[in-house]
Amino acid sequence: MEKQLQIKSLHLESPLILAPLAGYTDLAFRLLCRQFGAGLCYTEMISCHGLVYQKEKTQLLTRTVPEERPVALQLFGADPIIMGEAAALVSDMPVDIIDINMGCPVRKVTKKGAGAALMKDAYLAATIISEVCNNTNLPVTVKIRTGWNHDSIVAPDFAKMAEDNGASAIAVHGRTWSQGFVGQVDWQTIARVKNNVAIPVIGNGDVNTYQEALQFMDNTGCDGIMIGRAALGNPWVFSPEGIPTSLAKRMAGLKRHLELIQEFSNTDKILPKIKNQAGRYFKGIAGGSTIRMQIYQAGSFDEIQKLTQSL
Ligand SMILES: Cc1cc2nc3c(=O)[nH]c(=O)nc-3n(C[C@H](O)[C@H](O)[C@H](O)COP(=O)(O)O)c2cc1C
């Protein structure tokens, strides 16, 4: 791929990036996506309060290994001081980028003024961005939406504000807060964001293949693409060849994913989550529904792993 993406001094091997997905972009999945060609992977959103107050569950989310780098750690919160303190803590961790979540529409997050709610309060958002930047030497990226609803498409100005306060790149999910995760992705606004800032812009929303990612970049002028849902059960999305049509190759992908899960997770504790991920490898393929059924009926991690060895 010709397009080069550089975020401050960090040069990425590919401009295709794994988006933050709560409950999915854990260490095993990030490593898998890096091995399949993603240039950078984002952790799921991590609470600044959880970090600063040393909550065990939160700390588990920050685990990284050298082989997965570069990795971006995403913070969420609405308190500038705590966000700054969290940024200082993250700066001592082996990560390459701090991202600030200003796009999450989930009520649990927005009711506290964090996530997409920050797009309604540019002053607070600016304070948070500058506080985070003042507490780290790492590049800081900000993930936003196009606006809060159809009548308030604020992303171009908001992105400029983020740049002026120290952000090194902006990721834009091409939907408004009120759209959630449905409706047309607005490439035009992403192109306007790109024209309004000098820092790299990463487009995001509904990209299902490598080729669609190239088209998104061509049409908007953006410098990179974040892929979220399409990567689930499909780490091949980061490569030009795309998802294999043979059952054996899909099995091989799942086998690799399971090996990483076994290495980095407590497999007994997260069996339903593993089944959810594993089943996705067999979408739209002959014989896939039988295997999915076997996965959902499996009583243990070992049973799922044995399935991948049976072909
Ligand atoms: C299950 C799920 C979890 C998500 N978690 C996060 C998150 O932690 N932080 C964030 O900024 N966005 C999160 N998102 C939004 C995605 O990063 C992305 O912006 C969105 O899904 C659109 O991209 P896609 O069409 O490629 O999935 C989440 C989306 C989904 C579906």
Distance CA 131, CA 79 (A): 10
- Any alpha helices (H) in the chain, and if so which ranges? 27-35, 48-52, 56-61, 80-91, 107-110, 122-134, 155-164, 187-196, 210-220, 247-264, 271-279, 288-297, 301-309
Question: Ligand 1 atom 14: the closest Cα is on which residue?
Answer: 21
5-238 CATH: 3.20.20.70
Distance, CA of 138 to chain centre: 18
Distance CA 186, CA 208 (A): 16
Distance CA 306, CA 84 (A): 46
Question: Ligand 1 atom 15: the closest Cα is on which residue?
Answer: 21
Question: Ligand 1 atom 28: the closest Cα is on which residue?
Answer: 21
- Please work out whether the CB of residue 204 comes within 6 Å of at least one atom of ligand 1: yes
CA of 220 to the centre of ligand 1 (A): 20
Distance CA 104, CA 101 (A): 7
- Please work out whether the CB of residue 102 comes within 6 Å of at least one atom of ligand 1: no
Bridge-based pairing state of the strands 5-7 and 10-12: antiparallel
Distance CA 189, CA 148 (A): 13
pLDDT of the residue at 301: 95
pLDDT in tens, the chain (311 residues): 667 899 999 999 999 999 999 999 999 999 999 999 999 999 999 999 999 999 999 999 999 999 999 999 999 999 999 999 999 999 999 999 999 999 999 999 999 999 999 999 999 999 999 999 999 999 999 999 999 999 999 999 999 999 999 999 999 999 999 999 999 999 999 999 999 999 999 999 999 999 999 999 999 999 999 999 999 999 999 999 999 999 999 999 999 999 999 999 988 889 999 999 999 999 999 989 999 999 999 999 999 999 988 76
Q: Which amino acid is at 147?
A: G
Residue the block writes with tokens 């399409």: 230
Please say if 48 is a catalytic residue: no
Distance CA 110, CA 100 (A): 14
Distance CA 175, CA 190 (A): 10
SS (H, E, C) 232-261: CCCHHHHCCCCCCCCHHHHHHHHHHHHHHH
Question: Ligand 1 atom 4: the closest Cα is on which residue?
Answer: 21
Contact 135, 91 (CB under 8 A): yes
User: What residues pair up with 72 in beta bridges, in sequence order?
Assistant: 42, 97
CA-to-CA dists, residue 289 to 36, 43, 118, 279, 283, angstroms: 25, 30, 42, 9, 8
CA of 180 to the centre of ligand 1 (A): 10
DSSP for 91-134 reads HTSS-SEEEEEE----HHHHTTT-GGGGGG-HHHHHHHHHHHHH
Which atom of ligand 1 lies nearest, measured to the CA of 143?
11
Contact 295, 274 (CB under 8 A): no
- Please work out whether the CB of residue 228 comes within 6 Å of at least one atom of ligand 1: yes
- Please work out whether the CB of residue 106 comes within 6 Å of at least one atom of ligand 1: no
Does the global pTM surpass 0.75? yes
Sequence-distant (6+) residues with CB within 8 A of 290 are: none
pLDDT of the residue at 310: 74
Torsion of CA 198, 199, 200, 203, to 10 degrees: -80
- Please work out whether the CB of residue 205 comes within 6 Å of at least one atom of ligand 1: yes
**Residue from 42, 45, 181, 277 whose mutation best tests the ligand 1 pocket (most atoms within 8 A of CB):** 181
Bridge-based pairing state of the strands 224-227 and 40-47: unpaired
Domain residue extents for the chain: 5-238, 247-309
Distance CA 171, CA 193 (A): 10
Which atom of ligand 1 lies nearest, measured to the CA of 173?
19
pLDDT of the residue at 254: 97
Q: What is the chain's alpha carbon radius of gyration, rounded to the nearest angstrom?
A: 19
CA of 21 to the centre of ligand 1 (A): 5
Task: Please identify which of the residues 33, 48, 104, 133 carries the catalytic annotation.
Answer: 104
Write the DSSP symbol of residue 67. Answer: G
Which atom of ligand 1 lies nearest, measured to the CA of 44?
8
